[in-house]
Amino acid sequence: MKPLQSYAHHNWVAPTGTLTDIHSAVTGEMIAQVGAGIRDFAGVIDYARRVGGPALRAMTFHDRAKILKSLGDAVMARKEELYELSYETGATKSDGWVDIEGGAGTLLAYASKGRRELPNDTMLLDGPLEGLSKRGTFLGQHVMTSLHGAAIHINAFNFPVWGMLEKLGPTLLAGVPAIVKPATASAYVAQACFRILIEANVLPKGALQLIVGPIGDLFDHLTGQDVVSFTGSAETAQKLARHPVIARESVRFIAERDSLNAAMLGPDAAPGTPEFDLFVKEVVREITVKAGQKCTAIRRAFVPASAMDATEESLKKALAEVVVGDPRGEGVTMGALVSRSQRDDVRAKIEELSREARIVFGDPQKANVRGADAEKGAFISPVLLRCDQPAKATRVHEIEAFGPVATLMPYRDVPEAVSLVNRGKGSLVMSLFTNDPTVARQVLEGAGAFHGRVLIVDRDCAKESTGHGSPLPALVHGGPGRAGGGEELGGLRGVFHYMQRTALQGSPRMLASVTSNWISGAPEMRDGPHPFRLRFGELELGKTLITDARTVTLEDIEHFAHFTGDNFYAHMDEKAAAANPLFGGRVAHGYLLLSFAAGLFVDPAPGPVLANYGLDNLRFLKPVKPGDAIKVQLTAKSKSLRNDKYGEVRWQVALTNQNNEPVATYELLTMNAV
């Protein structure tokens, strides 16, 4: 393999000078080389800001979502290339599936969220309108806009594909260019995936750049518009966070650090229960998947003291069935660590843990390996330790062996278990195996603040649960304290890391125009054809229809009640309704009012309105009694193009009575032909 290249200024850059060898985790043979390919780091970040940033910001969220979809599809189309390289990192086929197809799936998930949850615009409204004056002429609205800098992504070695793509999804959707720095040990896989992204030919110039090798003085050129997203060890994260430019420029620093994640077996989950079996299965899986090289892996397993011996025996029995070897080999269930130096580190950490805990399964110095040489490769046996006095121990709550290693510990009661779990000082995830909601609530109240994610496993969800160690695009991936305090992923929360929230203040007219979102008090256009006669491209925001009034009669109310079966007393029993302090007499059904409203504003002839597909933010504000007259104001509030055939129109609907008092408000959603 040729020396790995970087990618900058829309060109591949070969390394120069001294090269460092990267060895196969399986055979020990040299598989790639890295060196210093980029010298001008100021130029790299300038290119991202000057070329990539403006190009991405000119696109709407939907445009960027389409790019993510294309990138995800491109990775899936060439996934077998990545699998072949992934084997050399020690990853099995199932390990690679999590990394490669999981990474592509994250891009596709963010593409879907971008199309479904974000407007076809470059700006995002954040929260409701805020009234700032008595007469409504001065308002406030929070908005989100793309940062004008670059995102520096520093990734860990354990997931060279997923780790890169899970950062790129929200970053590109936010409209911010990225500079990717993969970990050296698996950089050959990351670079191969990066090539696939570039060769998909859907990214604007400057949107993505790659640094293979040292990052030089890159941090010296950061500004307050840039973001650093880091995944890796707590030690490295602390070193980067202390860089003087990070503090001086208030650079956003998002850290997702390795943590001492825990699993807890509930006091109700005795041996023989489904939850006990699920606990054993999950702990073994988390020890062995990726050979334990996961930031989310279970490092500490807590069980009731009475179940310690049974749990130990069950774990040992299951671990004895694990087959360590060449990940390409038939029947192999656990591969190698990423490098021999990583194996040395894990062995050293196990030795430290052994001062407080005893090894009850596995030999860190010896591994029975199938289809490979145990010493030439970076193989190690899965190791289970047992610490019988965790309350008096310190190392098991502070030292992480980043490999196939976990420690089993007892607890007396739930409060002690919570206390022990929290001694990890913050983690990405903890799992609780219980069938008792009372236990789950007690653990959540005591430990929730110490964990970014809490997985509660019972017999009901087990078949569909994605497991302890699977971060999902829709949920926050991060955690407090030792875990770094960051929140990668989390649906749109991940996107917001790369955007600026700004409090916008002004008049209704100005805010409506600036945000492309009509608000009450902004100009209305009441002349011309019925709004439903206008195609998507012809319809202007503020286009308004005010209907004639319709009187609601007692006969209307009773007919609606009999027709629908809604005979609630407030509509049908005068005496009971009169005693109701909210109504003081019979009132019209809320849904009767909605039906009458539609009858007042709908233009029935075929036209550009293709479908009514929902109501949002419905509120009934004032009762309507027999004899009251209602009318409707329908105003085009916002538009979002969905494809080349139709777009979504959001209408503000306001119902008032004969005294011009608000009766009900809601937002109507329609699909209109382009």
| DSSP notation for 549-594 | PEE--HHHHHHHHHHH----HHHH-HHHHHH-TTTSS----HHHHH
Question: Would you state the structure tokens that stand for residue 575, as one six-digit string?
Answer: 């005496």
Q: Does residue 321 contact residue 281 with C-beta atoms inside 8 Å?
A: no
- 588-646: per-residue pLDDT in tens? 999 999 999 999 999 888 989 999 989 999 999 999 999 999 999 999 999 988 888 99
Q: Does residue 43 have a pLDDT over 90? A: yes
CA distance 92 to 330: 10
Question: Would you state the structure tokens that stand for residue 199, as one six-digit string?
Answer: 């060769």
Amino acid found at 112: S
- 446-490: per-residue pLDDT in tens? 999 999 999 999 999 989 899 898 888 988 898 898 888 888 888
Q: Does residue 400 contact residue 258 with C-beta atoms inside 8 Å?
A: yes
Confidence at residue 471, expressed as pLDDT on a 0 to 100 scale: 86
Average pLDDT on 575-599 reads 93
Q: Does residue 25 contact residue 336 with C-beta atoms inside 8 Å?
A: yes
DSSP structural state of residue 371: S
CATH class label, 261-483: alpha beta
Amino acid found at 605: A
CA distance 471 to 159: 12
The verdict on whether 295 is a catalytic residue reads: yes
DSSP bridge pairs for 12: 7
Query: Greatest CA span in the chain, whole angstroms?
Result: 93
Average pLDDT on 105-109 reads 95
- Non-local (6+) Cβ contacts of 387 within 8 A are 356, 357, 358, 393, 396, 407, 408, 409
CA distance 399 to 300: 11
DSSP 3-state of 221: helix
Q: Does residue 36 have a pLDDT over 90? A: no
- 139-179: per-residue pLDDT in tens? 999 999 999 999 999 999 889 999 999 999 999 999 999 99
- 270-303: per-residue pLDDT in tens? 999 999 999 999 999 999 999 999 989 999 999 9
DSSP bridge pairs for 655: 632, 664
Q: Does residue 198 contact residue 7 with C-beta atoms inside 8 Å?
A: yes
Neighbours of 479 (CB within 10 A): 27
- 402-429: per-residue pLDDT in tens? 999 999 999 999 999 999 999 999 999 9
Report, at the CATH architecture level, how domain 524-673 is classified. Roll (3.10)
- Non-local (6+) Cβ contacts of 375 within 8 A are none
* Domains 6-124+148-255 and 524-673 alike in fold: no
- 204-248: per-residue pLDDT in tens? 999 999 999 889 999 999 999 999 999 988 888 888 999 999 999
Q: Does residue 302 contact residue 318 with C-beta atoms inside 8 Å?
A: no
CA distance 475 to 472: 5
Tokens 């110095």 locate to 365
DSSP structural state of residue 100: I
Measured between alpha carbons, how far apart are the two ends of the chain, in Å? Answer: 52
CA distance 171 to 182: 16
DSSP structural state of residue 200: T
> CA angle, 593 as apex, 588 and 595 as ends, to 5°?
130
- For the chain, the average pLDDT equals 93
CA distance 228 to 155: 11
The dihedral region occupied by 100, where left means phi > 0, alpha psi between -120 and 50, and beta the remainder, is alpha
Tokens 């002004």 locate to 506
Tokens 């279970």 locate to 298
Average pLDDT on 331-337 reads 94
The verdict on whether 387 is a catalytic residue reads: no
Average pLDDT on 116-139 reads 91
Q: How confident is the model at residue 307 (pLDDT cuts 50, 70, 90)?
A: very high
Query: Rounded to an integer, what is the distance from CA 195 to the centroid of its chain?
Result: 25
193, 286, 295, 400: which one is catalytic? 295
Amino acid found at 289: V
101, 166, 256, 282: which one is catalytic? 256
Q: What is the residue-wise DSSP string for 517-541?
A: ---TTS--B--SS-GGGS-TTTPPT
Backbone angles phi, psi at 348, to 5 degrees: -65, -40
Average pLDDT on 508-524 reads 92
Confidence at residue 569, expressed as pLDDT on a 0 to 100 scale: 92
DSSP structural state of residue 307: G
Q: How confident is the model at residue 1 (pLDDT cuts 50, 70, 90)?
A: low
CA distance 170 to 441: 32
Q: Does residue 439 have a pLDDT over 90? A: yes
The hierarchical CATH code for the domain 6-124+148-255 is: 3.40.605.10
Q: Does residue 105 have a pLDDT over 90? A: yes
Radius of gyration of the chain (CA): 30
Question: Would you state the structure tokens that stand for residue 615, as one six-digit string?
Answer: 């109501």
DSSP 3-state of 142: strand
Backbone angles phi, psi at 341, to 5 degrees: -65, -35
Average pLDDT on 103-125 reads 93
Which residue, among 5, 379, 52, has the nearest Cα to 182 in the 3D structure?
A: 5
pTM above 0.75, yes or no: yes
Query: Rounded to an integer, what is the distance from CA 160 to the centroid of its chain?
Result: 18
Confidence at residue 576, expressed as pLDDT on a 0 to 100 scale: 92
CA distance 4 to 129: 51
Amino acid found at 488: E
Q: Does residue 38 contact residue 8 with C-beta atoms inside 8 Å?
A: yes
